[in-house]
Amino acid sequence: MTARPQHPFTVSSRDVLAIAVPASLAFITEPLVGFDDITMIGRLGDAALLGGLLLGALLFDFLFSMAYFLRIGTAGLVAQAIGARDPRDGLLHALRGLIVGAVIGVAMIVASPLIGWLATLAFAPQPGVDAALGSYFAIRIWGAPLVLMNYVLLGWFYGRAAAKTGMALQILLHGVNIAGCVVMVFGLHMGVAGAGYATLLGEAVATAAGLVVFARHYGGVGALWRRIAPGELRDGAALRRLVGLNRDLMIRSAALMTAYAWFAAQGSRLGEVTLGANAILLNLLMLAGYFHDGIAQAAEQLSGRAYGAN
């Protein structure tokens, strides 16, 4: 049996910060957009709209957290490929992730009537909140494949320690979202639907930009596909590794988001004003959580790289 080659490298505090700081700045934009949506919708003076927005945002956080392994798993596998001096920079891991993400996203769209019914059953919203939730959900669900593909692209960037590129994509996504929300909610008076369309637009722009950067790294789409041998993308063992890598993370995410959802559901039962106030509290909590996620991303990239480097 041939021993795996070793590729030693050093890690300094600067290496950690070079990943952690941009990643933290990127991740913190997620709850900041929530604050923007809350501000825009809150200024309309209708607690029912604000409550519906909160429940809709929580519902999507819950759904997408179930596929969070696409970002974390891709980042870990790509970091291992970088450590092992893979000349393709984890190309196969990224492409398999993009395919899995697109399939899961389409499945969410197909199952959206059932998901919407279960959400109404769990949250028990009052009529005005229920109408706002339904409008927001019906629009944003179409972005599910985009969100999950964007997770994979971010995983590929962070796995290669290209944290600044990942940060730029996240800022682009949320910048478009914020600008779109201002225009659609205040300029076009579209209410909660405007917030949904603005988020969908941001997801589409960021995913398209990420795919362009990804393809250009390999010399274009044609050059990218020439690097892949027939049948490599259908490697069942590799796909099972991607999905199974973060089984425990999925359980953890489900438990965490269930706690958030339970908190929101109790607020919903206490009335629109209580539910709206809870929206602000939950976003403050997520602000701190997402900020610390950048340090976790640095640890994952360096650990994965070390494992790949043997």
Mean pLDDT (whole number) for 229-244: 73
What is d(CA 13, CA 149) in angstroms, rounded to the nearest whole number?
A: 31
Task: Please give the torsion angle defined by the CA atoms of residues 296, 297, 300 and 303, in that order, rounded to the nearest 10 degrees.
Answer: -90
Using alpha carbons only, how large is the chain's radius of gyration in Å? 20
Q: What is the DSSP string of 284-297?
A: HHHHHHHHHHHHHH
Please report, for residues 77, 99, 253, 256, 283, the alpha-carbon distance to residue 61 in angstroms, rounded to integers and kept in the order given: 24, 21, 10, 10, 12
pLDDT confidence of residue 156:
92
Position with higher pLDDT, 98 vs 50: 98
Residue 147: the pLDDT is: 92
User: 45-59, 126-140, 190-204, 262-276: which range is least confident on average?
Assistant: 262-276
Identity of the highest mean pLDDT range in 30-34, 276-280, 295-299:
295-299
310: pLDDT strictly greater than 80: yes
> What angle do the packed helices 191-217 and 127-140 form, to 10 degrees?
20
pLDDT tens by residue, 69-83: 888 888 888 988 888
Question: Which pLDDT belongs to residue 34?
Answer: 64
Phi-psi label, residue 228: left if phi above 0, alpha if psi -120 to 50, beta otherwise:
beta
On the question of pLDDT at 142 being above 70, the answer is yes
Mean pLDDT of 201-223: 91
- Ranked by mean pLDDT, the top range of 41-50, 57-66, 112-121, 224-233 is 112-121
| Range of 53-67, 188-202, 276-290 with top mean pLDDT | 188-202
Range in 158-167, 204-213, 278-287 with the lowest mean pLDDT: 278-287
The per-residue pLDDT for 64 is: 85
Average pLDDT over residues 233-238: 73
Token output for 82:
């970088």
Q: Is the pLDDT of residue 144 over 90?
A: yes
pLDDT in tens, 60-69: 888 887 887 8
> Is the predicted pLDDT of residue 52 greater than 60, yes or no?
yes
- Residue 201 has what pLDDT? 94
In this structure, what token pair is assigned to residue 176? 């478009």
**Mean pLDDT, the chain, as a whole number?**
84
Quote the tokens at residue 225. Answer: 């596909």
Averaged pLDDT, 137-155: 93
Judged against a pLDDT cut of 90, whether residue 110 lies above it is answered with yes
Report the length, in residues, of the chain.
310
User: Best-predicted range by mean pLDDT among 3-7, 25-29, 155-159, 234-238?
Assistant: 155-159
Give me the mean pLDDT over the 22-26 stretch.
85
